[in-house]
Structure 1
Amino acid sequence: MGAEARKMIRELVTTMRRTGSTTPTIVRTIMDRWGTPPLVAYRHAFALSQTQIADRYNERWPEETPKTFKQVSYWERWRGPGAPASGSARPPSLQDLGRLAILFGCRVDDLLYGPRDASGPPALIVSHDVIGHIVSALQRDGQPDYPESDDGSEPVAVRSILGEGTITVTMSRRAFSSLLAGGGLAALLPGAVSSPASAEPGTAAFFRRTLIGHQAGHHLLTPGAHIASLVETLRDIADRRDTVNGQYRRDLRAVQAEIAEHLSWLHREIADTEACRHWAGKASAWAMEAGDTSMATYMMLRTASLALDHRDFARVLDITQTVRHAEWPTPPVLQAVACLYEARAQAAAGTIDAAALDAADELLAAPRSADDPPYLRFYGPAFGDLQRATCYVSAGEHERAVTILQAQLTGLPATHYRDRAVHLVRLGVAHAAGQAPDAAALAGLAGLTEARRSGSKHVLTELKPLADLLQRRWPDQHKVREFRAALAAM
């Protein structure tokens, strides 16, 4: 690329940044006008030289043999997947691609193919072994790959990266849900499906296995897709209950309560508060009918969680005190959740309740009872750390929150988009409290990407206050404007 072209690109980037264009838009414009590979376009979008890219790489990931501008030049001369390597064009390794994606705040796919429209759910990135497992399950279970024959819903794509190429398996949402519920995607859900694999159809164990598959695979489909499938499962249970009596009916009612609880959570994710409360009420009523005091207690804590969303801290304390001093047996995990929510209510007033947080840590770290309901398996030390970090943010101890959240983010599985989005939102708020607007905006942008992938509108509602805060305090920061523009485009 000649000096004149580089000058024109610099002027274009300056103009587009000034008018609030997002980085993906700038990258795509550079690629379209000058025919550059994505990696080159990303570098120019950030107004960096090849030497500066190498320096930033080495600063973040110091190695025995540092990268040089020459290495970056080799990468940029490679034209992407399918293009041959040569003496002057060498593809970056998958590790290098991942690190470059971190430097540019984008996805590996964006560096290979250019920025994509993220309005729909992306393909699930899995290992080659998982792809093989899925294909085998589809063949074994007689589930043909005909996404166009589905009920009009968006098909599900699962992709594996092999060297410089990819393998993609696309199936209907119905086929995917069937594999998920039946344990056919166990390779994606390690240790998650604890119900007997041979549960007889129509039994409580069979329907609970279906629910566990949806809970463990919450990150694999959008909330709406899970909702449609679980509502259909509730209809099947209702039909089955009409044919049995006694304990069998109560067992099925208990499973209905657990499904209603998960539907309540899913509707919270799509920001449908009315439906969230409706299903929470159903879960509470069905749990009491089935004699499931653990589920009834759990739904009380769900109400406390909603009260935290609306900053009704007095109600939070009323509920948590009731749970902590309940006359009926309460699983230690629920006692821990009550402690954490109580601590969050106290933190909103500027007080860190260290005793409650420490008590929750001990309860969450203790060995689980075999009698614990399966829906409590999600509440472990990582949940406690997130709640602790949230307390620190509320109480103004932002540095402690940043340390916890950054550590948590590094340990999240690649496909847990919603969990990553939640952590990034909290991280953005912590950075803002620490007077670091660029870091806060970058966390917000990353959180927005993950929220799009997960389909979580609830997380999007949490991003808006962060964007408003950054706009009030630092309206002229480039990253702040980029974050607000990206959020407004949703």
Structure 2
Amino acid sequence: MDAGAQGAVVAGVNEKLRAARLDRGWLSQEQAAEGISAAGRLALDDPHFAVSERTYRRWESGTPGWPRPDTAAALRTAFGLNPEHLGFTPPPGHPASLNVSEDPMDRRSFLATGSLAALAVIDSADVTPRHIDPQLVPYFYQQLNGHYAADMMLGPRDLIGTVTEQYRLISGLARAAGGPVREELIRVGATYAELAGWLHQDAGQWDTSAYWHGIAQTDAQMIGDVDLVAYTLSNAAHLRSDLGDGRAAVELCQLGLGHDGLSDRIRVNLMQQQAHGHSLLGPGSRAEVDSLLDAASRVVEGVDPEIPWGTAARRNAYFFEVQRATCYGRMGLHREAQDIWSVINTGMPPAARRDTGVYLARQATAYAALGEPERAVDLARTSAQVAAETRSARHLKELDVLRKGMRRWTKDPVGRRFEEALRPITV
């Protein structure tokens, strides 16, 4: 048995399978059993294939044996991972027990959880032309707006499974549709792929996020939508900024802005993401940051907020203040950042709970840098509670930055109060 399989079970729990289930968005073992059953029926073309909840519970609660070939195929389809990477114990002499992959299908082949079922396993019925009602397009856009709202309240992990499954549905409908309906379905599908990319990014799953951004870009290029292609570049730049690669973020946005005929809303997305890229290049980039955000704030006035994607800047009253304060914080301009955060965090709507938690952490970091730890502790307490509820890796990263900023008070009473404030995310 390889070291990975040996380390998969801790105190009678198959941690690898459990982690894969949660990444897939299945919060219960019953959902996992149903999802694996559906994946198996798809992969095996067997309408009767099923995994019971009892069987799945056994897999996750102890050391499972090696699955039958049909069950192994279902697991691969459901998770994009071979059984040995899900905590299953290969028998002696099996290639997996010798650290040799049973087949080339590993995590690098399927960076997005569930992406095999969404893209690679296509039944012949999926591509048979048939009538698809055009009213499905506005329906999916309406659902997309609901997902945007839920993301601000819940965080990423509760939505990943739903959004990726809806992309699978939309993609299947697009394969069967023709003419303008096909193009519109591909367009709305690309926006779902971008949302999936963001959700994985917010959950700290960088490789999977990059995969979904790539899927969105491929769909956009397939229909030749200049705005959509440039929008995918702005979101790829956002991912690079989160990874600390400011130069790549700037260059991706320059590439997007080089497209002819861009709408105002996409120019706004590119300019504000380019500002974030510059902010990672050091305090000397303040002029570029301010220039880009000022220009974007002027352009945004011409954007229609009713367009279902790419219009966050028009629908959020504090959008540019948030971008500027975030950039200033990165550049070490903490007094300037604090002045902006104090306005933002007193006016955020209750529905934007996840974002408010992130902003409070950033404001607390500014207070710590300015030598005001008591104020930082007060904000950290609320921020940590939100982080524990939404499980946003981006939020946890902000609190980690705050923790480093509070180190100089570790031995003081205020330092102990700070650690108590963070208790919701440390339990």
Amino acid at match of 1:251: E
- Paired position in structure 2 for 1:331: 263
Distance in 1 (alpha carbons) for counterparts of 2:414 and 2:265:
40
- Paired position in structure 2 for 1:344: 276
8 Å Cα contact 1:287/1:295 also seen in 2: yes
- Paired position in structure 1 for 2:387: 451
What is the aligned counterpart of 2:160 among 221, 227, 232? 227
1:60-99 C-alpha deviation (Å, 9 max, x unpaired)? xxxxxxxxxxxxxxxxxxxxxxxxxxxxxxxxxxxxxxxx
Distance in 2 (alpha carbons) for counterparts of 1:241 and 1:340:
32
- Paired position in structure 1 for 2:368: 432
8 Å Cα contact 2:279/2:327 also seen in 1: yes
- Paired position in structure 2 for 1:478: 413
SS in 2 for 1:376: coil
TM-score calculated relative to the size of structure 1: 0.55
Equivalent residue runs for 1:6-405 within 5 Å: 151=31, 203-324=136-257, 326-348=258-280, 349-351=282-284, 352-353=286-287, 354-364=290-300, 366-369=301-304, 373-380=307-314, 381-405=317-341
1:320-360 C-alpha deviation (Å, 9 max, x unpaired)? 22233x13222223323333333334344113223223212
Q: CA RMSD, aligned part only?
A: 2.8
Distance in 2 (alpha carbons) for counterparts of 1:319 and 1:219:
26
8 Å Cα contact 2:365/2:401 also seen in 1: no
8 Å Cα contact 1:269/1:458 also seen in 2: yes
8 Å Cα contact 1:257/1:283 also seen in 2: yes
**Unmatched segments (≥5 aa) in structure 1:** 1-147, 154-198
- Paired position in structure 1 for 2:426: 489
Amino acid at match of 2:343: A
Amino acid at match of 1:455: R
- Paired position in structure 2 for 1:76: none
Amino acid at match of 2:206: T
Shift of 1:252: 0.9
- Paired position in structure 1 for 2:405: 469
* Cα pair distance change 1:444/1:377, threshold 3 Å: same
8 Å Cα contact 1:409/1:423 also seen in 2: yes
**% same residue:** 25
Shift of 1:283: 0.7
Equivalent residues, number:
295
Whose Rg is larger?
1
Amino acid at match of 2:368: A
What is the aligned counterpart of 2:349 among 402, 409, 413? 413
* Cα pair distance change 1:397/1:242, threshold 3 Å: closer
- Paired position in structure 1 for 2:53: none
8 Å Cα contact 1:257/1:287 also seen in 2: yes
